[in-house]
Chains A and B, each alone.
Chain A
Amino acid sequence: MESILTINNLTKKFGQLTAVNNLSFTIKKGNVYGILGPNGSGKSTTLGIVLNVVNKTSGNFHWFDGNTTTHNALKKVGAIIERPNFYPYMSGYENLKLVCKIKGVNYSKIDEKLEIVGLLKRKHSKFKTFSLGMKQRLAIASALLNDPEILILDEPTNGLDPQGIHQIREIIKQIAAQGTTILLASHLLDEVEKVCSHVVVLRNGVKLYAGSVDEMISSHGFFELKCNNQSELITLLENHNAFGNIKVEGDLVTAFLTEPIKSDTFNKLLFEKGIILTHLVQRKESLEEQFLKLTDNLNKQNQ
């Protein structure tokens, strides 16, 4: 598959702090990628580097086949990072006209893209009169002007009200459905889970995971158990091969599977051993739990 962005051993240091540490990953055409990570994990810095606004300390990256300069490649990229940045004294239309001039795009695209984000009626209003949701939508229209090969969004729903968040997500889904590659940085896991097919998980500038969302969630899942004889249950779980990690929270026992086991088989086994359950749920981890597990593991290693 055609690759859009390749990053090799990228490192960025701000004085003592290492914001991005030896990061490598590849973005392939047609997928929707999420960069996940808590605040300050190096998401924005990584995007800043590939977008030509932050200087890398070492390593390298290249856009497309590597034969175009970064600033020329960026003309085929649409990106919004952090909050929408426009000239407050210009109207929405004039702001987009300026972007057209930079990217070398025909002005006829402006109305088309304003239509997509639903701002056509307000196109002659000054940017400073826009609400935050409208500003963010204008930013998306601006990023779409050149019909980009890849759309990069950094925290696109940050600070928006629920309605605004919903509007932005709908627009993103619509764009993804048209086959545009999307790179979405976010700390909102449900957001990534809903729209992304692939994820890169970052923490303190280090890559913890890169691959498809399905693979990341494809563990054997876990059981949530409650019974009247907790200590006996825990001893049994600890001696059973199929269980790895066991977590106790109050009267709820969570047992993580290391190999597949069916709930009826498991229930039967417990009953034969004289343990009667009051609560049994078998579940797969959500992206959030998987993410916390990944970041937790690292915490333990560090200790």
Chain B
Amino acid sequence: MFRLLNLELQKLLLNKTSKILIFVSFILPFFVILLSSFKINVFGFFTLELGELGIFNFPIIWHLTTFFSSQFKFFFAIVVVSMIGNEYSNKTIKQNLIDGLSKKEFILSKFYTIVFFSLVSTVLIFLISLCIGLYYSSYNEFSIIIKETEFIIAYFVKLVGFFSLCLFFGMLVKRSAFALAFLFILFIVEWIIFGLLAWKLDTDVAEKIQNFFPLKSMYKLIDQPFQRIAMTKFPDKANLAYDYGAHSYEILIVLAWTALFIFLSYRLLKKRDL
């Protein structure tokens, strides 16, 4: 396993473009989160301190940081599709197989890399949230701190799921740009199907079905936190209430998609003549 991971890391880290993109997708969000937690003096007119708004309180901070940094996953998605696209355009996939890598090992080395970077990102976000939280949060009881840490698990699953989808598209179309276009098309197709379902059936049922779609199910893992922040400000407004939790069945759906995408990528490669 480490051999395969090591192999892929060498391919990625010696490439300048992917190095920059990895940096942007994983390190940048932490800097932004860190900076936003500082007291910023805007030209002496007023001080902006987001911490004062209570958004860095436990447990809401888990929700906020994971939601925010998962928006940066798109940069690593580019890395994922290009690591497949480059193998095809350089024909190195063929050479790798001839050199004695099996097709299964090839897919696994990509998958391990995805899991590795998702894990690194998850650990980083956990640590940084913990530090900022401990510094700002009004509640420091252990039971409150560990409350809603399922968002961390959801964050990990969300990254792995999304990148597996990118991996599959990369394998399917062999070219990075087209794979990204496919991602966008899938996004539109999901909404069109949702629209059709909502029109033929009713919106509630349509939404329930939509939650099983690949992109939507990944998005649903960590719902937007803004409404929730508003809820904490105006607790009496019941119409703002929504289900923002990261549920285990949601995690299961995404894991099922992940397994399917990896399996399909393998099938695709196995059937293909290079």
Contacts and interface: CB of A to CB of B under 8 A. Distances in A.
Interface stretch (B91-99, B120-128, B158-166, B232-240): B91-99
A102 B92 contact: no
B10 A98 contact: yes
A74 B98 contact: yes
Interface residues of A, number: 32
A97 B10 contact: yes
Contacts of A217: none
B101 A102 contact: yes
Contacts of A69: 102
Interface string A98-138: 11011110000000000000000000000000000000000
Contacts of B272: 55
Interface stretch (B11-19, B50-58, B63-71, B255-263): B11-19
B94 A85 contact: yes
Interface string A57-98: 000000000000101101101010111011111100010011
Given A48-B273, A54-B273, A101-B3, A85 B95 contact: yes
Contact of B96 (A48, A94, A102): A102
A53 interface: yes
Contact of B98 (A53, A83, A86, A90): A53
Interface in A26-42: none
B10 A53 contact: no
A103 B90 contact: no
Contacts of B105: 71
B221 to A, nearest CB: 35
Contacts of A74: 97-100
A87 B99 contact: no
Contacts of B16: 89
A103 B91 CA distance: 18
Contacts of A85: 90-92, 94-95
A51 interface: yes
Interface in A132-161: 142
Nearest to B11: A87
Interface of A: 14, 48, 51-55, 69, 71-72, 74-75, 77, 79, 81-83, 85-90, 94, 97-99, 101-104, 142
17 contacts: A48-B274, A51-B97, A51-B98, A52-B97, A52-B103, A53-B97, A53-B273, A55-B270, A71-B102, A83-B91, A85-B91, A85-B92, A85-B95, A86-B92, A87-B90, A97-B10, A101-B3
Top 9 closest A-B pairs, CB basis? A71-B102, A75-B100, A74-B100, A85-B95, A85-B91, A53-B274, A54-B273, A102-B99, A51-B98
Given A55-B270, A98-B11, A101-B10, 11 more contacts: A53-B274, A71-B100, A74-B97, A74-B100, A81-B94, A82-B91, A86-B92, A87-B86, A89-B15, A89-B16, A94-B10
